[in-house]
Amino acid sequence: MNGIPMSHILVSLWPLFVLIVAGHAMQRSGFPGAGFWPGAERFNYFVLFPALLFSSLSAAPLNNPALPRLLAALVIVLGVVTAGLLAARRIKGWPAARFGVLLQGLLRFNTYLGLAAVSGLYGKEGMVFAAVILAVLVPAVNVLSVLALSADRNRSVMALIVPVAKNPLILACLAGALFNLAGFELKWGADKLLSLLANTSLPLGLLSVGAALKLDELRGQGGTLVGNSLMRLILVPMLAFLSARILALPTIETAVLVLFFALPTAPTAYVLTRQLGGDGHLMAGIITFQTLLSAISLPLVMAALAQI
């Protein structure tokens, strides 16, 4: 499809997983210290990563004729997966604490790994479409996750809206899009400053992903871990590809869309799960298992896409 050979895919992706492994090894060895990782994650989440999203969206071609179809493909995938999970919940009677975890396992995504992979495989052009995808997926997936974890109890509309409205990633996407639509340009070195911050975000984020892995949480519920992970890493990307084909998306938009739905779930899902009373043990296991399995599945999915 996109003519990228398997060798290039492997060369682009293996350094990302080396950083994840390095982060886990650093955390296990106590280097540079237990207090480093929470501060690094917080700085990345509130400063470095928003800078990357803002700079990407501020220069994105928002008048691209393929964007409405790309957004439609996103809605199709989210809608089909959510509807399937709701049907399964009705049949199996999952409580919200479990249902919310399974939904996050299928719909949330490791943004750091995704953007690093897009950058390595598709360069600046791919990063533009990745930023557009994030502008839609980040708020949508956060809302769905909160709703799923709160399904067994009544929560006010404000309790659902406020955490999403305060999300720095969502605010950065919104600011970047408005900056772009207003016709402004980054000048006088501001573009270089944001570029420096953005370039720092991804390696630090991947190290933090490794540090957050909880191998001890893989014990128990093996069937659920395997089933949820295979659906996330194989079936959901296939659904994304079919949606792209139905809507006749161009090559690079299709590739970036499939890549994002082939990513393991987000480490931050554990924090949200604990905050809203979900099954933290299962969530930690899914995050860790999907991240480990994606080292094999992600190159295979992207290689298969390249041959179609």
pTM score: 0.88
The separation between CA 62 and the C-alpha centre of its own chain, rounded to angstroms, equals 21
Evaluated on CA atoms 162, 167, 173, 175, the torsion sign reads positive
H or E segment at 53? helix 49-58
251: in domain:
yes
87: in domain:
yes
CB 127 within 8 A of CB 256: no
CB 104 within 8 A of CB 285: no
293: in domain:
yes
23: in domain:
yes
133: in domain:
yes
Determine the structural domain holding residue 31 and report its residue range. 6-36+62-157+209-307
For each of the chain's 308 residues, which pLDDT tens digit applies?
556 778 888 888 999 999 999 999 999 999 999 899 999 988 998 899 889 888 888 877 777 888 899 999 999 999 999 999 999 999 999 999 999 999 999 999 998 899 899 999 998 889 888 888 888 888 888 888 888 888 766 666 666 677 667 778 788 888 988 998 898 888 888 889 998 998 889 899 999 999 989 888 888 778 999 999 999 999 999 999 999 999 999 999 999 999 999 999 998 888 788 878 899 999 999 999 999 999 999 999 999 998 87
Q: Could you tell me the CA-to-CA distances from 9 to 76, 91, 213, 226, 302 in Å, in that order?
A: 27, 40, 24, 25, 7
Domain count, the chain: 1
Half-sphere exposure of 21 (CA within 13 A, CB side): 10
170: in domain:
no
Q: What is the pLDDT of residue 19?
A: 94
Structure token digits, residue 130:
């990745």
CB 207 within 8 A of CB 19: yes
Distance CA 267, CA 291 (A): 9
138: in domain:
yes
Which among 275, 297, 292 is positioned nearest to 101, based on CA atoms? Answer: 275
197: in domain:
no
Distance CA 85, CA 81 (A): 6
The SS3 of residue 301 is: helix
Q: What is the pLDDT of residue 154?
A: 64
H or E segment at 205? helix 190-212
